[in-house]
């Protein structure tokens, strides 16, 4: 007969009798044995009148596990499988409705623990942002020789209890604390290296996580653990408007920002608060799923020469970020009436200049009507002088041709060109004379 199991059953019977006599308001918990080996299962059971019991299994780091177990018919049960790498004394603690119970057990190293398991990645204490991928790379060996085709199981857990009522939203498919991710088959790399990727969700807990992995082949086992740190992912904020850095005092502006994560994904379920250096605050409105937030008609009235605007963003998972811009404020030092007059002054000056311009144009038109005939006559005389010059030039060209100083081809080209110029001058003279007749 197994003395360990006999003692466990006896303890369970005592707790059952205690619960039967004293009923509700109690919490009792027991394990089936006091000593375990890697690969065995710790059977935890007990009684409670609460709807659920939270179990904490802690011991030599990193043996940590947390589980919320439902209570059915006044009793609860939970099985925790001891993994390779879990050694030493452990403490099992149960909490329910303010009550607490504890019991101890011991996990001894087994002779079958002959496999070496080494983490390649991640590094000890490596920081990961929410939304990042966590890549687990392990090397499994036997006496220093890389070992292929081993069954490698890894479990992600963390000390501390998730926020009450939010457990379901924080967990991936199955049970985040109890489910084991098997890394075999196509996940095997050369050299006895095994890998698996896990995407850290935006709402996953931000604290120290523990990766516990156990390898097994042909009845031989080995294990290793690795702590990492998961932290909030920063939200980046970009100011889209106003685009200018100089503002009129009291000017109403539309403020628009874009909030997004480091990987470029927009913030869709978040709040952006706007605050200026004078202590005024306002909540911006999300106007687009692309992470655009806006606040219209923001009053920039300030007693200072500079105004700082800060936008602070936070999403529903607690990730956050902040960014600020500084504007220079142009003061209005004139009285209100003088200030209005200052803006109407350019219009008055424009009207005066336009009036002067029109008067000048009328004067020029009159002068043109009285001096135009004289201008036309002078121009006709100039053109007639030009035509006489052409006639003289043509006569000179003819003389050179007759004296055989130029060939016939050159002579014809020159005569054609000057003949064309003479014709154009005749046309201009005719038009000017027609215009001159209108003044008679």
Alpha-carbon span 15 to 153, nearest angstrom: 35
What is the Cα Rg of the chain in Å?
47
Is 338 part of any domain?
no
In angstroms, how far is CA 46 from the centroid of its own chain?
Answer: 48
- Say whether both 103 and 20 belong to one domain: yes
Which secondary-structure segment (H or E) carries 430? helix 408-437
325-374 per-position pLDDT tens digit: 888 877 655 454 555 555 566 777 888 888 777 776 665 655 555 577 78
In angstroms, how far is CA 370 from the centroid of its own chain?
Answer: 76
- Return the SS3 of 336: helix
183-207 per-position pLDDT tens digit: 443 444 456 788 777 888 877 778 7
- Say whether both 226 and 256 belong to one domain: no
* DSSP state letters, 2-67: -HHHHHHHHHHHHHHHHHHHH-SS-EEEEES-SEE-TT-EEEEEEEESSSEEEEEEEESTT-EEEE
Closest CA to 242 of 352, 164, 325: 325
Kindly state the percentage of the chain with pLDDT values over 90.
Answer: 7
CATH code where residue 276 lies: 2.60.40.10
- Return the SS3 of 113: strand
Which segments of 62-192 are extended strands (E)?
A: 64-70, 75-81, 88-96, 99-107, 115-121, 127-129, 133-142, 145-146, 151-157, 181-182, 188-189
CATH code where residue 144 lies: 2.60.40.1930
* DSSP state letters, 413-426: HHHHHHHHHHHHHH
Q: What is the pLDDT of residue 237?
A: 93
Q: What is the pLDDT of residue 341?
A: 56
Choose one of 107, 127, 149: the last residue of a domain.
107
Choose one of 65, 81, 107: the last residue of a domain.
107
- Return the SS3 of 161: coil
- Say whether both 353 and 308 belong to one domain: no
- Whether the pLDDT of residue 225 is over 50: the answer is yes
- Say whether both 286 and 193 belong to one domain: no
Inter-residue contact 321 to 313 (CB < 8 Å): yes
- Return the SS3 of 433: helix
- Averaging pLDDT over each range in 90-104, 296-310, 406-420, which range is the top one? 90-104
Choose one of 187, 216, 231: the last residue of a domain.
231
- Say whether both 126 and 216 belong to one domain: yes
Average of per-residue pLDDT across 82-88: 70
Average of per-residue pLDDT across 48-60: 83
C-alpha distances out from residue 406 to 390, 393, 399, 411, 420, Å: 18, 14, 10, 7, 20
Phi, psi of 268 (to 5 degrees): -105, -35
Is 293 part of any domain?
yes
261-293 per-position pLDDT tens digit: 888 889 988 899 988 888 888 899 998 888 999
* Cβ atoms within 10 Å, residue 216: 20
Beta bridge pairs of residue 253? 298
Q: What is the pLDDT of residue 55?
A: 86
Q: What is the pLDDT of residue 185?
A: 39
Confidence class for position 1, pLDDT limits 50, 70, 90: very low
Is 337 part of any domain?
no
- Say whether both 135 and 212 belong to one domain: yes
pLDDT, averaged across the chain: 76
Is 127 part of any domain?
yes
Inter-residue contact 313 to 320 (CB < 8 Å): yes
- Whether the pLDDT of residue 75 is over 70: the answer is yes
Is 207 part of any domain?
yes
Q: Which residue has the higher pLDDT, 431 or 108?
A: 431
Is 335 part of any domain?
no
* DSSP state letters, 385-419: HHHHHHHHHHHHHHHHHHTTSS-HHHHHHHHHHHH
Q: What is the pLDDT of residue 36?
A: 83
Which secondary-structure segment (H or E) carries 337? helix 336-402
Lowest mean pLDDT, pick from 133-137, 356-360, 423-427, 428-432 = 356-360
- Say whether both 242 and 223 belong to one domain: no
- Whether the pLDDT of residue 440 is over 70: the answer is no
Is 121 part of any domain?
yes
Torsion of CA 115, 116, 122, 125, to 10 degrees: 110
- Say whether both 227 and 251 belong to one domain: no
- Say whether both 253 and 314 belong to one domain: yes
Inter-residue contact 200 to 132 (CB < 8 Å): yes
Q: What is the pLDDT of residue 288?
A: 85
Domain count within the chain: 4
**Domain enclosing residue 19, as ranges:** 3-107
Name residue, tokens 């009798």: 17
- Say whether both 240 and 207 belong to one domain: no
Q: What is the pLDDT of residue 332?
A: 59
173 token code pair: 């498919």
Q: What is the pLDDT of residue 323?
A: 92
Q: What is the pLDDT of residue 259?
A: 93
Q: What is the pLDDT of residue 368?
A: 56
- Say whether both 203 and 128 belong to one domain: yes
- Say whether both 143 and 52 belong to one domain: no
Inter-residue contact 184 to 226 (CB < 8 Å): no
In eight-state DSSP terms, residue 109 is P
Is 336 part of any domain?
no
Q: What is the pLDDT of residue 260?
A: 92
């Amino acid at each position: 007969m197994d003395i360990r199991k006999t003692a466990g059953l006896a303890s369970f019977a005592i707790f059952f009798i205690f619960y039967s006599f004293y009923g509700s308001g109690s919490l009792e918990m027991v394990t089936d044995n006091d000593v375990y080996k890697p690969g065995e299962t710790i059977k935890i059971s007990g009684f409670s009148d609460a709807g659920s019991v939270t179990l904490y299994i802690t011991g030599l780091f990193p043996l940590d596990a947390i589980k919320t177990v439902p209570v059915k018919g006044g009793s609860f049960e939970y099985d925790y499988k001891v993994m390779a790498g879990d050694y030493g004394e452990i403490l099992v603690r149960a909490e329910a409705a303010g009550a607490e119970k504890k019991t101890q057990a011991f996990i001894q190293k087994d002779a079958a623990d002959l496999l070496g398991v080494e983490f390649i990645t991640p590094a000890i204490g490596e920081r990961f942002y929410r939304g990042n991928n966590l890549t687990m790379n392990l090397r499994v060996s036997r006496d220093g020789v890389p070992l292929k085709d081993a069954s490698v199981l890894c479990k992600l857990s963390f000390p501390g209890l998730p926020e009450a009522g939010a457990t379901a939203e924080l967990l991936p498919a199955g049970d985040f604390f109890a489910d084991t991710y098997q890394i075999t088959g196509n996940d095997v790399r050369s050299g006895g290296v095994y890998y698996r990727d896990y995407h850290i969700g935006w709402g996953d807990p931000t604290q120290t996580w523990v990766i516990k992995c156990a390898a097994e082949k042909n009845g031989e086992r080995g294990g290793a653990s690795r702590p990492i740190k998961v932290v909030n992912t920063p939200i980046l904020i970009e100011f889209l408007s106003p685009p200018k850095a100089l503002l009129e005092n009291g000017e109403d502006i539309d403020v628009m920002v874009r909030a997004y994560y480091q990987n470029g994904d927009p913030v869709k379920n978040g709040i952006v608060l706007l605050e200026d250096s004078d202590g005024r605050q306002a909540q911006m409105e999300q106007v687009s799923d692309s992470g655009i937030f806006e606040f219209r008609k923001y009053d920039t009235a300030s007693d200072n020469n500079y105004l700082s605007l800060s936008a602070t963003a936070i999403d529903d998972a607690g990730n956050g970020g902040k960014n600020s811009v500084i504007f220079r404020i142009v003061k209005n030092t004139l009285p209100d009436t003088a200030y209005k007059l200052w803006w109407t002054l350019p219009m008055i000056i424009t009207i005066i200049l336009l009036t002067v311009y029109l008067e000048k144009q009328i004067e020029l038109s009159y002068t043109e009507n009285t001096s135009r005939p004289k201008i036309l006559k002078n121009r006709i005389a100039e053109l007639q002088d030009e035509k006489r010059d052409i006639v003289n030039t043509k006569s000179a060209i003819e003389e050179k041709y007759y004296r055989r100083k130029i060939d016939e081809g050159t002579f014809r080209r020159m005569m054609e060109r000057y003949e064309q110029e003479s014709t154009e001058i005749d046309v201009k003279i005719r038009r000017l004379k027609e215009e001159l007749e209108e003044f008679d």
